[in-house]
Structure 1
Amino acid sequence: MRQFLLLLAVAVALGAQAAAQNAGMRRLTDRDDLLGWEAVGRLDIADAGFCTGTLIAPDLVLTAAHCALDGRTGKPFGPGQVTFRAGLRDGKSVADRKVVQIVTHPDFVANAPVSVERIRRDVALMRLEEPISIAQANPFALHSGNLSGAEVSGASYGRGREEAISRQRSCRILDRRQGIIAFDCKVTFGPSGSAILAKDGVRWQILSVVSAGGKINGKTVGFGMELSKIVSDLKARLRRDAPRPKATIRRLQVGSGKSGSGAKFIRSDGS
């Protein structure tokens, strides 16, 4: 417990030195390398830079709440201000989609200092304007199996590697308690919101989302949260707050026997 609290005490907002953080990362630029990782994408955020997001459904991106809120207003970015670029590599993406709806935990504060509560709530869901087909990018499921002995990995965009996904093949879980997961995956600016993945059988599944990071004795320490409960809650909020379809009024063309949609009236004699 004491070691865990020490790690949290020195946690800082992501933004460490990029050169040191990028060592040992594999850049996924070849199409064969990217295969299976297309659901990881760069989130281009208005004039506020970028984060990393991951598809968990064809029209749903998982990321960090601090990537989804405007630091000046504390409110979610508006429709069209965020673009998800799936599988972006050297200027080309599998698909680009505008974000039209964002939900975060109601008690998450955009500019609050790092704390256990903040990290636990640092999750956002973003709905895309239209789905990305599974053939283009197969979404990742949330991890639900036994983590004991599981291989853990990270895939993200970051400072100095903005144009392609970089993957750290293997990293370790350092601690897991109070709804927080500490890990030694490499983190810097940009990986905010990226998924920490654990392998369950042949498919990688999302274990956590990168929220914050710092250094202990020169070694990188990252922090994320347990996901199952908060993601379920956010999905419910997303459904509840989804924009309702606008009602449309069709104008009938008098004397034409037709509506604006081309439907015909039926006369009383059946003709």
Structure 2
Amino acid sequence: MRLRGLILAVAACLIADAALAQSQGLRRLTDRDDLLGWEAVGRLDNAQGGFCTATLIAPDQVLTAAHCVYDRARLREAGELTFRAGLRDGIAIAERAVAAIAVPAAYDPRKGMALDNVRHDVALLKLNQPITTADADPFVLHQGSAQGTRISVTSYGQGREDALSRQRECEIVAESHPLMAFDCNVTFGSSGAPVFVLNGQRGRILSVISGGGVVDGKTVSLGMALPEVVQALKADLRRQGVPTQTPTVRRLGAGEGRSTSGAKFVRPSGS
């Protein structure tokens, strides 16, 4: 199915209940040995009680979905967000407050999953203090085509919010650069989760989960290519020059959205 048609179908068949998510293929990362190598994936909690999934891509930088830093149409203050690396059963490998946020101005939280919105549904957060690589080794971004590669997703979600769950293998079901659709097992709280491709012995981040719906009885999630948008967001964080313990928020550049409504994976209490 062409990606545009698939996304329109998703927009017409919104996920109304987390129970619609697939129940097969997930492994809970319960103990320290299970978590080894995945500590850089964590839960991004907001002050209103909602959460998303996020990933360290540098000791003081966390990648997630843009809609995770909004409360409906309001851009959250950085101090409302906390990143908990490798959180499992109430214990985090490391916990840091967010000091700064960079999001593309082209992302419009009111426009849902319009094609030109999903492609910009990315946020880069600066932590108030770095997390050492001894505690959590950041992941790097995948460069180039993902055709013919195996993908996997590691995420939190509603009903499995206390520990990471990993799906070892799922598929890209449609692609039209920079947009991608996956059949991976994701649900509310999985927004911002990293989609990995295997590169040697360690995964690289291909995309982050934006949202999705049900198409032909299948749960489908949507994401985007990352290198260009993340490079711009990194430059924006550098320009901000935010010192430790000084929360700020800045939007990146100028842009525009497109009008089409849709769904994101969100919790009733927030992102």
Aligned length: 243
Structure-2 residue corresponding to 1:219: 218
Question: Matched residue of 1:139: which SS?
Answer: coil
Structure-2 residue corresponding to 1:68: 69
The offset of 1:80, in angstroms, is 2.0
Structure-2 residue corresponding to 1:31: 32
Normalised by the length of structure 2, the TM-score is: 0.85
Structure-1 residue corresponding to 2:44: 43
Structure-2 residue corresponding to 1:238: 237
Structure-1 residue corresponding to 2:7: 8
The question of 1:59 aligning with 2:64 is answered: no
User: Contact 1:52–1:194 at 8 Å: present in 2 too?
Assistant: yes
Amino acid at match of 1:238: L
Between stretches 6-15 and 141-150, larger displacement belongs to: 6-15
CA distance in structure 2 between the partners assigned to 1:96 and 1:245 by the alignment: 15
The offset of 1:217, in angstroms, is 1.4
User: Contact 1:15–1:188 at 8 Å: present in 2 too?
Assistant: no
Amino acid at match of 2:192: G
CA distance in structure 2 between the partners assigned to 1:20 and 1:229 by the alignment: 31
Structure-2 residue corresponding to 1:169: 168
Question: Matched residue of 2:109: which SS?
Answer: coil
Normalised by the length of structure 1, the TM-score is: 0.85
Please give the per-residue CA displacement for 1:3-58, whole angstroms capped at 9, x wherever unaligned: 32221002247664236434321000111110000000000011050000000001
Please give the per-residue CA displacement for 1:78-115, whole angstroms capped at 9, x wherever unaligned: 13210100000111110110001001001211221311
The offset of 1:175, in angstroms, is 1.7
Larger RCO, structure (CA 8 Å, separation 6 or more): 2
Structure-1 residue corresponding to 2:18: 17
User: Contact 1:39–1:140 at 8 Å: present in 2 too?
Assistant: yes
Question: Matched residue of 1:21: which SS?
Answer: coil
Task: Trace 1:88-99 onto structure 2 (pairs within 5 A).
Answer: 88-99=87-98
CA distance in structure 2 between the partners assigned to 1:14 and 1:91 by the alignment: 28
Structure 2: which 5+ residue stretches go unaligned? 246-271
Structure-2 residue corresponding to 1:269: none
Taking structure 1 as reference, are residues 19 and 182 closer, same or farther at Cα in structure 2, changes over 3 Å only? closer
Identity rate, percent: 49
